[in-house]
Amino acid sequence: MEPVKLTAKDYKTSVPIVWCPGCGDFGVLNAMQQAAAELAIPPENLMVVSGIGCSSRIAGYVNAFGFNTIHGRALPIASGAKLARPEMTVWAAGGDGDGYSIGTNHFVHTIRRNADITYIVMDNNIYGLTKGQVSPTTPHGDYTKSTPLGNPDRPLNPLALALELGATYIAQGFSGNVKHLRDLIVKGTQHKGFAFINVKSPCVTFRGRQEFNVVREHGVYLDESHDPSSWEKAHEVTQWKEKIPLGVIYHVHGVPTLDEIARDLQHKAEEQGHVETSKDLLEIFG
Amino acid sequence: MRDVTLAIAGSGGDGVITAGDFIVQAAARKGLNAFMLKSYGPQIRGGESSARIRISDRPIYSQGDFVDFLVVFSWKDFARFSDEIKLRKGAVVLYDEADSTPPEEFPIAAELGAELIAVPFKKMAAEEIKVPLTKNMVALGVIAALLHLPLDGIKDAVMKKFGKRKPEAAQVNIEAIDLGKGWVEKNLPDGTQIVLEAEGTGEPKLVMTGDDAVAYGALHAGVKVFAGYPITPASPILEFLSKWLPHFGGAVVQTEDEIAAITYAIGASWAGKQAMTASSGPGVALKLEALGLAAIAEIPLVVVNVQRVGPSTGIPSKSEQADLFQAVGGTPGDVPRVVLAPSDVEDNFQVAIEAFYIAEKYQIPVVILSDQFLGERSETIDPDVLFARKRVIARQLAKPSDLKEYKRYKLTDTGVSPMTVPGMKGGQYITSGLEHYEDGRPTSSGTMHQIMSEKRARKLPLIAEESGFVRVYGDEDAELAVLAWGSSKGAVREAVERARAEGIKVKAIVPQLIYPVPEKKLDAALKGVKRAVVVELSFGAQFYRFLRAYYDGLPKETYSYARSGANPLLVSEVLEAIKEHAGAMNAPQEA
């Protein structure tokens, strides 16, 4: 069969985009559509699952089986989908509030199970959809609508957290560099296991346009001198204070994935004894 | 006696439940009916536990109000069950002679005239078998010999449990059983006044718990992904499917929390596989937001709630029927959902099949309201009846013609729209927890919300019509009816039979479908009924209030008999309620 040529356009939908003009998430959407085209994933074989937040609207903007779910639950829904249909490509997406606050528990355990999905977090350091409250990645001391006296909490470091939890692919992108982000998504999708991509995706409305400049000024693209297979090197990068690492920070292979383990268990069960139909189970109740 | 209830009470390590299991299995092998209710304290090891077993050659509907034959390893432990274990007058009581409680302090009323027999269970196990842990097996031998239980059946059950893996354990247990039997022959050659005089059919029956039955039913219905989180008393469902679902190409995930469990199931079902989650009330409370997601996104889903005593942690190991409001209405928004209530162990199996049938056919979440009393009890089941119902269906997929300008939420007369799954070219769509247009695009339009609310609700009367199974027992033309649901059926059915035996005209009405209310079938069942009493184990009378709110067909004279759970519903209390209402109906009217 002749391979079908797909372009980013094939992944656009007619759903009106509700993001503010200049929102960082436009860059992420472009990168996702370009990555899908480059990977030539037929839209009907792509599943995009998101939680709740401005960025989670993205599930409706990619021509795929899209599911804009409930707050914080993109990962277990995406994991369940992948478990049910391992032959499909599953992307999960959301924001920092969705993934690192209400959904943290799932972040931890999806990493632990190494579900073979790509998780793109549009990290804008603020709750945008609810109009400007402090988020788990808002810098300490920042003034937001819910921290009128300055953010009393220290921000969470999602890269370090993922590394410590044993994530098998950790990357950081910037919505201001679509091409670079596209490559991270392509690599993450090709990775067998949980691919975590934190994307610096500024909120122009509640954090301001200068956020783009912050990333441009402090962003450091990781080059060949960084060895992503080294946990120690990766750890060092995740601890940078001023500089913002961009690129693949950590990448290891060969860790069994959620759906591989499920298949292994099926084989194990079969070895213990074949059961043809559910009626054959009656004997265990005899 | 053709119908004997025996109870064994002791500490967790006494092997009380194991002994009970063997008795039930032995009865099943002979084709007798048996029913076992386990009860235990909060301790994991060493706490009090009791097994209550009823055996008969007639159908058994309840645990039996009164115990005919009691075995006590420790009076101290027994005292903790005094709430639940009520002795019949003239009951036989065996107790361990080594127990330190002096006879004058036995927690048994003298006026019951119980026949008290001291037996050296512990001593025989320790000195003759040299394995103190076998005292439950010694007791089993004593019980079998005195009650005339089928000893060969008990030995078969022991062999089945230990035979292959631990032949030496099987041997020791059988020696212990024979020792107990020998003790009776030597010390009580005339036996006691309580003897089981029931012959089984000879056709072996199955022994199943309600939790296993609902899991097995789901497996038969084609569940492929199950996700759960441990919680008493629903964990056996997770355990059963963890063992067996991989044999059928399925997967089980013990998730990080209750919300992950339901959302895994939702993701799997959205992707095209039949999926289920199970929990108890507190866990289901955490799942409710996601239940609403399944409802608005119209994703087939089955959620089992094995109810326990609440609120909050309540009494985790005991039963109650007080999650009805939660199941029917405990979600933000107007959430169309289906609530099914199994009423015995076999029904747990059937209801699981029915739940998947409704979920898949109508693309709607279905809640199965079981409870601890159903989930953790064992019953004998006739194997032939299990697979009688042929309602197993696969995912109902959109037709190729639906895929042209595909509309996932197309407005239809039935409210059911064509559903695609990943891999179907042209079938991709956006879905969400947001209100939406026919093609799934989100909208904030109030008009659209009204239209879609109506669409989703259109399924409900169809489900009530197709699936509204209502059981009726007793006199068809009775003017007095008892309305009950779920596990209350057993005691209610037995009470109705006893009332009728005493000349009272009465019937019991038990719907399997709780919500949507099967109005037409309830109307038919209530035809000619002038007075109804709604019986339930909910302090707040949730079923009574639910019927009042959702059903117009109740007789004007409808009363409530409601109390909190933990202690199982008794036949005698229902009978008393029936008599009271029958009496009131026959009383001369005041001028």
Sheet containing strand B531-536, strands side by side: B470-474, B507-511, B480-483, B531-536, B557-562
Number of alpha carbons in the 13 Å side-chain half-sphere of residue B589: 1
Contacts of A274 in chain B (CB under 8 A): 247
Per-domain residue ranges for chain A?
8-254
Chain A nearest CA to B260, separation (Å)? 5
B154 domain-assigned:
yes
Question: Class for domain A8-254, per CATH?
Answer: alpha beta
User: Could you give the CA distance from residue B44 to residue B41 in angstroms, rounded to a whole number?
Assistant: 8
Q: Which of B370, B386, B402 is the last residue of a domain?
A: B386
pLDDT reported for residue A3: 62
Same domain, B167 and B225: no
d(CA A105, CA A75): 10
Closest to A80 (Cβ–Cβ): which among B160, B267, B429? B267
Tens digit of pLDDT for each residue in B263-277?
999 999 999 999 999
Unique residue bearing structure tokens 């005899």? A286
In a domain, B403, yes or no: no
Residue B562 covered by a domain: yes
Whether residue B194 is found in the same domain as residue B228: no
Same domain for B161 and B218, yes or no, is: no
Q: Chain A, 38-97: which have a CB under 8 Å from a chain B CB?
A: 42-47, 49, 52, 59-60, 63-70, 73, 76-85, 87-88
Residue B199 sits in the same domain as residue B337: no
Say how many C-beta atoms besides its own lie within 10 A of residue B505's C-beta: 15
Is the CB of residue B212 less than 8 Å from the CB of residue B183? no
Same domain, B218 and B365: yes
Do B212 and B198 share a domain, yes or no?
Answer: no
Give the ipTM: 0.98
Helices assigned H by DSSP within B188-257: 210-221, 235-244
Residue of A nearest to B220 (CA): A278
B197 and B269: one domain?
no
- Does a structural domain hold residue B404? no
Lowest mean pLDDT among B63-77, B180-194, B384-398: B384-398
CATH number at residue B559: 3.40.50.920
One domain for residues B367 and B475: no
A80:B206 CB<8 A: no
Taking the C-alpha atoms of residue B465 and residue B462, their distance in angstroms, rounded to an integer, is 5
Continuous segment of H or E residues that includes residue B40: strand B33-40
Q: For B343-397, how does the pLDDT look when each residue is reduced to its tens digit (9 = 90+)?
A: 999 999 999 999 999 999 999 999 999 999 999 999 999 988 888 877 888 899 9
Q: To 10 degrees, the CA torsion angle through A147, A153, A157, A158?
A: -60
φ, ψ at A281 (rounded to 5°)? -75, -10
- By the CB < 8 Å criterion, does B224 face chain A? yes
Query: Each residue of A42-92: pLDDT tens digit?
Result: 999 999 999 999 999 999 999 999 999 999 999 999 999 999 999 999 999
Residues ≥6 apart with Cβ < 8 Å to B215? B236, B237, B240, B241, B244, B278, B352
Written as one string, the DSSP assignment of B369-418 is EEEHHHHS-EEEE-HHHHT---------PPPGGGGTT--TT---SSS---
Average pLDDT for B530-548: 98
Nearest CA to B470 out of B426, B507, B497 is that of B507
Same-domain pairing of B31 and B154: yes
Q: Is residue B185 in some structural domain?
A: yes
- Within this chain, do residues B280 and B363 fall inside the same structural domain, yes or no? yes
* Summary mean pLDDT of chain B: 95
Minimal Cβ distance to A80: which of B263, B297, B424: B263
d(C-alpha B307, C-alpha B365), whole Å: 18
Q: Evaluate if residue B10 carries a pLDDT over 60.
A: yes
Whole-number average pLDDT of chain A: 97
How far from A124 is each of A58, A96, B555, CA to CA, in Å? 15, 7, 61
Q: How many domains does chain B have?
A: 3
Q: Are residues B306 and B367 in the same domain?
A: yes
Q: Which of B204, B227, B251 is the last residue of a domain?
A: B204
**Residue B577, domain extent:** 470-586
- State residue A2's pLDDT score: 59
Last residue of a domain, one of B157, B179, B204: B204
Best to test chain A binding among B379, B390, B425, B428 (most A CBs inside 10 Å)? B428
For B77-125, write each residue's pLDDT tens digit: 898 888 889 999 999 999 999 999 998 899 988 889 999 999 999 999 9
What's the rounded mean pLDDT across residues A202-213?
97
Q: Cα(B228)–Cα(B264) distance, rounded to whole angstroms?
A: 9
Q: What is the mean pLDDT of residues B485-503?
A: 98
CB A61 within 8 A of CB A29: yes
Do B224 and B191 share a domain, yes or no?
A: no
**B133, part of any domain:** yes
Where residue B589 falls among pLDDT bands split at 50, 70, 90?
low
Q: What tokens were used for B358? A: 């409704």
Q: With beta carbons less than 8 A apart as the criterion, state whether A55 and A28 touch.
A: yes
Window 327-386 of B, Cβ < 8 Å to A: 381, 383, 386
In a domain, B433, yes or no: no
Is residue B273 assigned to a domain?
yes
